[in-house]
Structure formats: structure tokens, C-alpha cells
Amino acid sequence: MNTTGRDPIGFELFKNTLFSIADEMALTIYRTAYSGVLKDGMDYSTAFCDGDGRTVAQGLTMPGHLGSFPDALGATLKRFGHRMKPGDIYCLNDPFEGGMHLPDVFILKPIFHRDERIAFAGTVCHQTDMGGRVAGSNASDSTETYQEGLRIPPVKMYDGGEPNETLFRLIEKNVRVPVRVFGDMRAQLSACHIAEAAFLRLVETRGAETVKGHMHELMDYTERMTRAALRELPDGEWSFEDWIDDDGIDYGKPIRLFVTLRKSGDTLVADWTGSSPQVKGAINNTLSYTKAATYTGIKSVLPAEIPNNDGFHRAVQVIAPPGTIANCVLPAATAARGLTGFRMVDCVFGALAMMLPDRVFAASDGGNTGISIGGYHADRRPFIYVDFICSAWGGRPWADGLDGNASMFANLSSHPAEIIEVEHPLEILALEFVPDTGGAGKFRGGMGFRRDYRFVEEEAVLQVRSDRRAFQPFGLYGGSPGKPSVNIINPHAEHRVVPAKVTMTITRGDVYRHELPGGGGWGDPLQRDPASVLRDVVNELVSVRSAHDDYGVVVDTARGEIDEAATGRRRAELRAQRAAGWPPVVNRTQPSGR
């Protein structure tokens, strides 16, 4: 039903009202959540869907959850669709029946008007713990889903308004921190209730038929906007390849990510055929998460006003063969699949950089690093610290990469040091940028940062999911790669470097340091404005040596200014070396498509 022709003003008001409901759901979770991963990290999403489970509006939270609600609602409707009634609420986390990985728990509430199901309020939150062999339920070295925690298929959480006590008891007995988990679930329930109340007020004001028509038209409107934007892009086919270092089980065995974008007219196909088969370690993606990474990359080059809903999905098709790292099947482990999703966004950017070289930036820091530290206090009370840290964007065709900013796929914020120390047996000894980590370029990559954690309880298990050590964040069009990540135990004593993906025991006084990779550079470093190089040297983001070696800029440190004559000679020397083929270019990406 096309309603905009009859009442375009009413439709616009409806559109903004529905978007506001989805955002109010997000704010409700932010205000009422118990865990740091939600109230500080904001690792959650909210959505408002029609009665058939199609996303109509999604809150401004986590891009990593784009496209996740249709799969969750599809699985729930398949099992309960004809039996749903007012007062029912459903939940799930099973990666193989609507979910993504076990910590991400969906809570879904059908909304009825006069006994007709006309909408759904949906939330998904990363829970601090869902059981399993490692606290936090997100260890990268699990080898099958059965090791990772409590697996919940679509089930009734509330039946006609009455809680499913069996489900709550099972959750309570399987998670290490039930108070925190149930607190966060209540935040999700509150968001769903608030959405229901707001939507039913809208129905009372506008009428059910008008509201249903507007929801259909909002999705059609989005599809028209998406297809119109795609028609403005060049037709063609572009492929890009990137590599994950390893899965943490088969050390040193690279894992291929490969995407082909096919653009024709007003449609775009993203095909992940050619990516690695699913792996032993827990970095396998569900198809919904691969879709989220793909949508995030593509939406970044389209107009920002295109809504996030089913209409966008109609114009962008994502293909990923079952049994691959992009679309895993049982018994694949998925707990650390965030790593793969983040890397897929960069892979999409690599392909888009060939289509639109003036609109796409180089690789980011490789996505967030997942860190969990779990154990027991002396009185046997459990503690679990879960954090996801990001740092750097790649250099952009018009500006430097951002320093200290979350990946586009995450929209996360860092936990405040003071809150970490109050809530967990940890001390934060350092949080600082690491000079020279951003790849050199006309526009340099963002700088990675380091964080030092000192453990002050008796014993705990440290679990780290990181990457970009062997395969650095790629630069584009002459830009250099970002520097690799590193994990160090007791950096000021034994200085023991441990693998990028590690699960290990730490004891009182141990210091864990993580240094994030830097973003890749964009463009020729010798074209960078020397004044920008000097500013970075003054701010201790670029060393005097890097200014000389990578940018050909000679800084007079005594006077704090550029030696222009020496800079001219140095840049001429570097250009001559290039012309002679020295030094060889290593790990720089100059895209080439077909």
C-alpha cells in the first residue's frame, strides 16, 4: 500500500516516530543495563519490526547487528508463529537457529492489537557470560559450539505474561554472574515494553490499518532510495582478498577472506565464494553476521539518510556458501566470530576502493580486540571482566584516519579506567597511543593505543582474541600498512610475547599489555604536507626517524621546525630509490579488479 501519495506529511511524521521508538529502546538499555559491556561498550542493538518479522526501524547502536533481527525472528516465527498470543516474549541465542554467537541474546516481544499481531519489538545484547569452559563465553580456542556455553533455541521467555521459570532456572544455573545477566535481560525487557506502549499509542492515534500501511511503505521507500543510490554507482565486478593470521588452533595457517562485488543497475551482489572453509577455532561467522559486515561496508558509501530496514536488504544480496567461515554449519564454534566480521568490513572496503577510489579508506586496526579476565575472589564470588577495544581508522582519501576511535562496525566506547578498577580486580597502568603505528601515507592511518592491566586477585583466566600480527592492516594507493598488534605479559619484567589469540592463567601482580594495530595509510607518503608531519612529531604520534624514513621530512628538533632544504633533498632521494626499485614494497595494497 502506497500511502505517501495521499498523506506525505503524515508518512514523514510516522517515519520519524518509529525511528524514535527504536532509539528510545536503545536509550532504555543504556540507562538500565548492569554490565560494562552494555552501559560502557554499548554492544547491543534494538529494532522495530512488522508482524511478519521484517525490520522496519533499527536503533542507532551497533552496526555489527545490521540484518540480524530477520534471522532471529524468522527462526522464532517458524516455531511459534501460529501460537503467539498477547503477553508472550521469546528469547534465543543459538547460532544455528536464528542467533549469531552465544553471548548475543535476543529478546523479542510480539505486539498485538485486537488479537492481531501487527509488530515486534526486538533487542539483542551481548551478555557478560553464558556459561561454557571460559568465563565470558567468547574464547577463541573453543573448537565446537558445545564448549561455548548455554545454547538457547527460540523459546518462550514469558507465556501470556507469566515467566518461564524453567528457562530462568536453567540460565541461573549455567551462567557465572546471574545477577548481572538477569539485570541486563531486564533492561532488554524494559526496552520491549516501552516500544510496545509507544507503538500502541501510535495505533490508537492513527488507526491500525494506516500504521500497517505506513510500515510497508517505509520499507518500500527505503528500497527505492537504495536502488536510486546504487544506480549512481559504476557497474562492474571487483574482487578483493585479505587474510586472517590464523584461528588460534592451527597457528600460522592463514585464513582467506575473499569477496566479489557485482554491481548492475540498481542491484548489488556481494559474493563471499572463495573464502576459507570453516575453521576449528571459534572465529566462524553465521550468515547473518556476514550480512551485517557486508551491509556496513556498502552503506558507508551510500547516502546516510537511507534507513536501516528490510528495504535495503532487498537491493543488496549477500552470498556465502554453507560450510565456509562466512556461513558456518554445526558443530562450528562461533564465540569469537567478531574478529572475522570486523575483517570482512575491511575486505568489502578493499573491493569498494576499486569501484570508488575517492570515497573509501584503508584498513582499520583489524576490528576490536576481545579481552576477558575471569576468576573467583577469595570468598568464591565470581568476577568477569569483558572488554572490546578498538583504536584506529585507516587513512581516508581526504583526511587522516581517526586516532582512538572505534571501528565503523562497532560504535563501541572504551570502558573508563576508574570503572574498571572499581568493578574488577584490575588496575589500569597505561592507556596511551603508540607512536608510528599508523601506516604512512598522504593521509596517514590512525594510531593504535596500548593498555596495561595489572591483576590484583589470586588467579584468573585471561582470554584474548586479536589479529593483524602477520597480515598488517592494508594501505591503499601507495599508503603503507599499519603496524601489527602485540600481546605482552609483564612488559617491564620478563617481557613475554604471547600469541595473538590466547587463553592462559594469570596470577596476582601479572601485567597484561595489549597494543592495537594502527590503521593503513592512504596515498603516497611523499605527498603528505610536511606541516602535518611536523604536527604529528610535536604530538608524539610520529617519531623523528619515521618522519625522515617514511615521509622524507627532516625535522630540526632543536628549533622545532622543518628543515625545508634537507626535506627537499631527502624526498628526491627517496623518489630516486623508488625509481630504482628499492626498497621493495611489502604488504601494501594497490587494488586491481576486473
How far is it, in rounded angstroms, from Cα 67 to Cα 52?
15
- The residue assigned the cell 534471522 is 71
Report H helices in 102-206.
Answer: 165-174, 178-206
- Give yes or no for residue 582 having a pLDDT over 90: no
Please give the C-alpha separations between residue 87 and each of 123, 139, 159, in angstroms, as whole numbers: 16, 36, 6
What pLDDT does 78 receive? 97
- Mean pLDDT in the chain? 94
pLDDT digits over 466-518, tens only? 999 999 999 999 999 999 999 999 999 999 999 999 999 999 999 999 999 99
Residue 591 pLDDT exceeds 70: no
3-state secondary structure 413-476: CCCCHHHHHHHCCEEEEEEEECCCCCCCCCECCCCCEEEEEEECCCEEEEEEECCCCCCCCCCE
What pLDDT score was predicted for residue 407?
84
Residue environment code for 206-238, b if the CB has 16+ CB neighbours within 10 A, otherwise e: beeebbbbbbbbbbbbbbebbbebbeebeeebb
Secondary element (H or E) of residue 561: strand 561-562
Does residue 321 surpass a pLDDT of 80?
yes
Q: What are phi and psi of 83, to 5 degrees?
A: -110, 0
C-alpha dihedral (251, 242, 486, 478), degrees to nearest 10: 140
CA distance 305 to 462: 42
Greater model confidence, 149 or 588: 149
Higher pLDDT among residues 594 and 581, named by residue: 581
357-361 own/partner pairs: CB under 8 Å, 24+ apart:
357/397, 357/476, 357/477, 358/397, 358/398, 359/301, 359/397, 360/300, 360/301, 360/397, 360/476, 361/393, 361/394, 361/395, 361/396, 361/397, 361/401, 361/476, 361/519, 361/522
Beta carbons within 10 angstroms of residue 586's beta carbon: 8
For 160-170, what is the mean pLDDT? 97
Across the range 138-161, mean pLDDT stands at 96
H/E stretch holding 7 reads none
How far apart CA 42 and CA 177 sit, in angstroms, is 19
Q: What is the rounded distance in angstroms from the CA atom of residue 442 to the CA atom of residue 450?
A: 25
Band (62; pLDDT cuts 50, 70, 90): confident
- Predicted confidence band at 373 (pLDDT cuts at 50, 70, 90)? very high
How far, in Å, CA of 45 to CA of 424, rounded?
A: 25
∠ CA 514-140-280, nearest 5°, is 140
Question: What digits encode the pLDDT tens for the residues 267-311?
Answer: 999 999 999 999 999 999 999 999 999 999 999 999 999 999 999
pTM of the model: 0.93
d(CA 42, CA 150): 22
On the question of pLDDT at 593 being above 60, the answer is no
Q: What is the pLDDT of residues 411-444, one digit of tens each?
A: 777 788 999 999 999 999 999 999 999 999 999 9
Residue 5's pLDDT band (cuts 50, 70, 90): low
Q: For residues 250 and 281, give the distance between their C-alpha atoms in angstroms, rounded to a whole number.
A: 8
Please give the average per-residue pLDDT across 2-25, as a whole number. 84
Task: Determine the pLDDT at residue 397.
Answer: 97
Cβ atoms within 10 Å, residue 113? 18
- Over range 253-273, report the average pLDDT: 98
Average pLDDT on 530-539 reads 97
Looking at per-residue confidence, does 407 or 239 come out higher?
Answer: 239
Q: Percent of the chain at pLDDT above 90?
A: 88
Q: Looking at the predicted structure, is the pLDDT value of residue 111 above 70?
A: yes
Q: Say how far apart CA 356 and CA 300 lie, in whole Å.
A: 12
